[in-house]
Amino acid sequence: MSCSPAADLKQGGHCVRLHMNLLSPKSARSDAGASKNDRHQTSIAAVKIFFWLLLPSVSRSYRSTAFTITGIVTLIATYHCVRIFNSWVDSFEVVSKDGGDFAVQLTGAPFNDAYCYVDWLLTVPVLLIELVLVMNLPQQETVSLGCKLGIASALMVAPGYPGEIQEDLAVRWFWWKLAMISCGYVVFTLVASLAESISK
In which domain, by residue range, is 127 found?
114-200
Half-sphere exposure of 43 (CA within 13 A, CB side): 7
If you average pLDDT over residues 2-7, what whole number do you get?
39
pTM over 0.75, yes/no: no
* 92 and 131, same domain (yes or no): no
Confidence of residue 5 (pLDDT cuts 50, 70, 90): very low
Looking at the chain, the whole-number percentage of residues with pLDDT higher than 70 is 70
User: How many domains in the chain?
Assistant: 2
Q: Which of 68, 88, 112 is a domain's end point?
A: 112
CATH number of residue 156's parent domain: 1.20.1070.10
* 128 and 100, same domain (yes or no): no
CA-based end-to-end distance of the chain: 60
If you average pLDDT over residues 188-197, what whole number do you get?
80
**Tell me: the pLDDT tens digits for 112-141?**
888 889 999 999 999 898 888 888 788 888
pLDDT at 4: 38
Round to whole Å and give the CA distance between 8 and 92: 12
